[in-house]
Structure formats: C-alpha cells, structure tokens
Amino acid sequence: MITIEKLHKSFGDLDVLTGIDLHVAPHEAVCVIGPSGSGKSTLLRCVNGLESITSGTISVDGIDIGASRNNLAQVRREVGMVFQQFNLFPHMTALENVTLAPTRVRKLSKADAVARAERLLARVGLADKRNAYPAQLSGGQQQRVAIARALAMEPRVMLFDEPTSALDPEIVGEVLDTMRGLANDGMTMMVVTHEMGFAREVSDRVVFMDKGQIVEVSTPADLFSAPKQARTQDFLNKVL
C-alpha cells in the first residue's frame, strides 16, 4: 500500500532522513518509534507530501506522489492524517469540521456528508458534540473529532503523528481505544507514537528509527523482547 524507497530529506544542511526503505502492506498497522529528533515525524509527513522529498520515491497504492501535483492531490484524498496538535478548524463546529472536505473534495451532497459525519462522530463516541466548537471540547474529544474528520474522506491509509503526545495522561486511553478499533477493522495505518504499550499490542510491525535511519523492523513481540540491534536495546531500556 505504501512503498518508500531510498528516501532522503534535509532541511538546509541538516540531514533529517538518510536513506529510508519501507513497505507497508494493505490492512497492516505499523508503529514508528524512536528518540525525538530521529526523523519519524518527518517520515510520516513525507508520505502525504506535507514535507517535500529531497530524493527517493514514495508511492501510495501505486501512485508516485512526487511525480506530479495531480498525483499528490490524488494521494491526499486517499490518505487521512491525524496531528499531534489536532489542528481542528477553530471556527467550525465538530460537524462542520467533518463535513468540509467530503463536500468540497469528494463533492458529496450536504445531506450525505452530514449523515456520514453523524455516523463517524457516533463511532468515536461524540454524537452529542456535533454542534460544539473545538474550544468547547477537551483535548481527547478534539482528537477524536480529528480522527472522524480524516475518516470522513474514506481514506485507504491513516497516518497518526504522535496523536496522544499533547493529551493529559488520563485521556490518552480514549484516543488509543478509537485507534485500536480502526486497526481491528483492517485500516492500513502508520502511527508515530511514544506509547510503547499501544505499539506492542496493536501493531503488526514496529519500526525503530534513530538519526534519520531505520535501525530495525520487526514484529512487536520480537522487537520488544528480543531486539537485535544495540541501539534498539538502548532506547528500550530508557523508555520501558
């Protein structure tokens, strides 16, 4: 579903990604872990073109995102993204946040978009908050609306960029539950996270990154209990 080959990315003379190769299969949930500054968020942001690529290729569902603006637009319609800071549109209600892109991009009728949005808000447990503005919602509720907003485009891939890092510890669970549900339904997912428990339990494979490179890719059972690389071992010792 997602194929990344020889990906390099630099900001000025700072190299952030130095040669990434990764393949994510359909219905696979992949968690990306690693120390801060390892380039994991940048990697995720390259997948839907929020960061331009310095060299290498990324294709989603066979479409090379770097080849043309049209390809990029096509990929963005198929890839949903959830941000660390939620990034809900502050001047729109929860319902308006969820219906905007389907009506503007997918050209859905207003009624269809509202029906879909209501279904999705119910799915993330926020049916009663449809008319609330983001400022009136807790962080966990905002993030769940953001997930519903991304799902409303019926994406084939979901990207999560540290979705729980800005949340208070006691409400991290409600967002992780929503994500667990998605993974169980077979959504293709790439998740950058610091939640090791979630990575171990939900992902099919775990990617460990450090200093702009993939150090180790493995099933969670192998990576967490028998890491092959010293750097992985080091990192896990610090965080677990």
Q: Does 90 bind other proteins (CB under 8 A)?
A: yes
For other proteins, the closer of residues 146 and 202 by Cβ is 146
- The C-alpha R_g of the chain, in whole angstroms, comes to 18
Q: Which stretch binds other proteins (CB under 8 A): 19-27, 93-101, 179-187, 198-206?
A: 93-101
d(CA 75, CA 59): 9
The answer to the question of residue 85 lying near other proteins (CB under 8 A) is: yes
CB of 139 to other proteins, least distance (A): 12
Q: Is 107 in the site for other proteins (CB under 8 A)?
A: no
Strands 79-82 and 2-11: unpaired
Place of tokens 């539950």: 177
Question: Could you tell me what percentage of the chain is helix, strand and coil, using 3-state DSSP and rounding each to the nearest 5?
Answer: 40, 25, 35
Q: Which stretch binds other proteins (CB under 8 A): 53-61, 96-104, 185-193, 198-206?
A: 96-104
Closest CA to 92 of 149, 140, 160, 171: 149
Binding status of residue 130 toward other proteins by CB under 8 A: no
Q: Is 49 left (phi over 0), alpha (psi -120 to 50) or beta?
A: left
Q: How many residues does the chain have?
A: 240
Query: Three-class SS of residue 49?
Result: coil
Between 91 and 228, CB nearer to other proteins? 91
| Residue whose CB is less far from other proteins, 22 or 44 | 44
> Encoding tokens for residue 90?
């502050």
Candidates 27, 112, 125, 133; binder of other proteins (CB under 8 A) is 133
Cβ of residue 150: shortest distance to other proteins, in angstroms?
7
- Contact positions with other proteins (CB under 8 A) in 179-238: none
Closest to other proteins by CB, 130 vs 133, is 133
The answer to whether 136 contacts other proteins (rule: CB under 8 A) is yes
The CB density around residue 185, as the number of other CB atoms within 10 Å, is 9
Based on the shown chain and the rule CB under 8 A, indicate whether residue 87 belongs to the binding site for other proteins. Answer: yes
